[in-house]
Chains A and B, each alone.
Chain A
Amino acid sequence: MSTPLGSSMTTSHPTYAPKHQPRWQVWMDIVRRDKRPVWGLAIILFFVGLAVFAPVFTPYSPTATAFTPMMGPSARHWLGTTASGQDVWSQFVYGGRISLSVGFASGFIATVLAVALGMLPAYLGGWVDTLMATVTNIMLVIPGLPLLIVITAYVHQAGPLTIAIVIGLTGWAWGARILRSQTLTLSRRDFVTASRLAGESRWRVLVAEILPNMLSLVVANLVFATIGAILAEASLEFLGLGNPSAVTWGTMLFWANSGGALLSGAWWWIVPPGLAIALVGLGLALVNFGVDQLSNPRLRLSRVRPSKADKGAVR
């Protein structure tokens, strides 16, 4: 160890102490000073609520072609109807179900992969680490959306589950790089050395000492992977690569585009799905402002701040 033991004892100590109860107080402090995470959470809960309780908010089926086509918003049809006479509000409400599920599912897959492929090799070191770091860097610079388009084009009319898996499988590289550098700095810290000297097994050190200290980074990664996944899903479905009979925000935009919504002035068909995607993204990013602050003192200690620049630059 290059750093003298005494000097960093003070820095590693607080990372030990707050385990369960104080974290809530930290949250409350952050929330009292900064309302952005609360707003973000409210936006997300709003859309999740709409999607979960969709039948409560609309009497119509999202796929029923039972109404006069291309009607503007009215008391009966809050967001008008589509070119084939479906109720846009119903589609909007039900569409959130698949769009949000796919977003969260692939965000989750990408984060699990990022933890496994970023943390483990960095902790084990040696040639595994060199190899994985190279693979990660390559995956980072190969443009993601074109790759996704090629993969989903080979799968005929990919269903939501396939899309979720493919987005998750291709979206881990950014998180893996951040988590890797954080693991490298953490595993050199004295409290990790101390617990290893105290006889804890390699696995226990990783799971019980290092992982808890990276939790906020993992959550931040989950947030951004989810935003990226929702955008990617909508892009693929907009291109017609998804299953066009599934009702999602992406397929709504696909049908609006191919149904000539633009040239017949049907703004009520185009605006809602895109706005929902953007608002959910905003909500998640706002929540992340809170997560950032939760982790900031620790981030500053481990000097991974430049990585925040990457985060900003990508998104």
Chain B
Amino acid sequence: MRFVGQRLGFLVLSLWAAATINFVLPRLMPGNPAVLMIGRFKGQLSARALHALKLQFGITHQPLWHQYLIYLGNLVHGNWGLSLTYYPVPVSRIIAESLPWTLGLVGVSTMLSVLIGLVLGVYTAWHRGGSWDSVLPTMATFTAAIPYFWLGTLLLFVLGYLWHWFPLAHSYSTSLAPSLTWAFAVSVLYHALLPALTIVVSSMGGWLLGMRNNMIQTLGEDYVMFGEARGLSDRRLMVHYAARNAVLPSMTGFGMAMGFVVGGALLTEIVFSYPGVGYQLLAAVQNEDYPLMQGIFLIIAFSVLVTNFFVEILYGRLDPRTRGGDAQ
């Protein structure tokens, strides 16, 4: 329970840090970008919207702490301002519409990537020195260095444009209306395949290399050797003795890995014109729509932080040693 409390404390602290960074950045920047933005939108916005924008980006005479309290209050109440690109649609509505696509895409492909990476890591470590072991780790090193968006572009070019195997854009066929039908579900899956493949290929390498390292180390432990001496089957040794223990350290980096994958996924969405938050982020960046940009940064940070929190709780259940002090 103390462990959960501790992680909860860290979650709150990091959420607060993300929100504060978001507040401080536009006020810290030289040349005050918000003034420029508001200057550009003068005449297109209502006086009230302009006033709200000025408040949001600190162009008022109120003291900073006052601005900060109002900002935090607005944040908690879901009042994230109006998007300028889609004026006068609230930022929160754009996010609510695009976030499910991103969560679905990133969630499924991360799970696949972790699973495939770990299995291949176990396999290469078990057959160390074998032919796969000489190829896969080097390939994983290469795929980990590939820019997500470039790989996505290539896949789109070859599989979509040249061979017509996959659609070139969007998350479902435009001839279908969103509904709970079989045809619609198939269309969504079909459109998600190529972006998901991009994310899986680019992010799998890290899991493979990490798992291989841990596995090799675990295989050298005495209890594995003892198990071997007892005549346990290879399968039992590999899965139940070594892999189960080796998988634990891989999970400690989950939060960081998650942040990295989400960043890559944003760019992947842009390449595939996939209507998630990454695609909206591009629109926000191109139109210098700071309210939308801030909202998307926050929602991405919050999602990663919350996911990381749950993974760490789960991890604490799996490995008593991480539950801080009291077990050791």
Mark A residues whose CB is within 8 Å of B.
Answer: 36, 134, 137-138, 140-147, 149-151, 153-156, 174, 227, 231, 234-235, 238-241, 253, 257, 262-263, 265, 267, 270-271, 273-274, 277-282, 284-286, 305-306, 308-315
Contacts and interface: CB of A to CB of B under 8 A. Distances in A.
Contacts of A262: 153, 156-157, 161
5 tightest A-B CB contacts, nearest first = A281-B145, A312-B210, A145-B263, A274-B150, A313-B253
Interface string B227-270: 00000000000000000000001101111111110111011001
A312 B207 contact: yes
B300 A143 contact: yes
A143 B304 contact: yes
B26 interface: yes
Given A146-B297, A282-B142, A312-B253, 8 more contacts: A145-B262, A145-B264, A257-B153, A273-B150, A277-B150, A310-B210, A313-B207, A314-B256
A141 B153 contact: no
A143 B299 CA distance: 11
A141 B207 CA distance: 17
A294 B255 CA distance: 29
Contacts of A274: 146-147, 150-151, 153-154
A138 B14 contact: yes
Instruction: Determine the main DSSP class of B at the interface with A.
Output: helix
Interface in B263-306: 263-264, 266-267, 270-271, 281-282, 284-286, 288, 290, 293-294, 296-297, 300-301, 304-305
A35 B18 CA distance: 44
A275 to B, nearest CB: 8
A154 B145 contact: no
A276 to B, nearest CB: 10
A253 B217 CA distance: 41
Interface of B: 10, 13-14, 17-18, 21-22, 25-26, 29, 31, 33, 36, 138, 141-142, 144-151, 153-154, 156-157, 161-162, 205-214, 217, 249-250, 252-260, 262-264, 266-267, 270-271, 281-282, 284-286, 288, 290, 293-294, 296-297, 300-301, 304-305, 308
A35 to B, nearest CB: 11
Nearest to B294: A150
A149 B285 contact: yes
Contacts of A278: 142, 145-147, 150
Contacts of B156: 262
Contacts of B286: 240
User: Which of B22, B144, B206, B284 has the largest number of chain A CB atoms within 10 A?
Assistant: B144
A58 B115 CA distance: 46
A140 B17 CA distance: 12
User: Which of B22, B210, B305 has the largest number of chain A CB atoms within 10 A?
Assistant: B210
A154 B33 contact: yes
Contact of A142 (B21, B26, B213): B21
A282 B260 CA distance: 18
A134 B205 CA distance: 29
A174 B206 CA distance: 15
B144 A315 contact: yes
A129 to B, nearest CB: 17
Nearest to A148: B263
Contacts of B144: 281, 285, 315
Contacts, number: 201
Nearest to B296: A146
Contacts of B266: 145-146, 149
Nearest to A314: B256
A141 B305 contact: yes
A154 B25 contact: yes
B26 A154 contact: yes
11 contacts: A150-B25, A240-B285, A263-B161, A265-B157, A280-B145, A281-B142, A309-B210, A309-B214, A310-B256, A311-B210, A313-B206
B249 A309 contact: yes
A253 B305 CA distance: 31
Given A312-B210, A313-B210, A238 B256 contact: no
A138 B16 CA distance: 10
A271 B155 CA distance: 11
Given A146-B297, A154-B33, A313 B13 contact: no
B198 to A, nearest CB: 12
A144 B260 CA distance: 7
Contact of B255 (A134, A140, A153): A140
Nearest to A152: B285
B10 A314 contact: no
B147 A234 contact: yes
A143 B301 contact: yes
Contacts of B208: 312
B99 to A, nearest CB: 13
Nearest to B143: A278
A285 B297 contact: no
A312 B262 contact: no
Contacts of B145: 227, 231, 277-282, 284-285
Nearest to B157: A262
Contacts of B271: 257
Contacts of A150: 22, 25, 293-294, 297
Contacts of A265: 157, 161-162
B154 A146 contact: no
Contacts of B259: 141-145
A306 B249 contact: yes
User: Which of A227, A231, A235, A313 has the largest number of chain B CB atoms within 10 A?
Assistant: A313
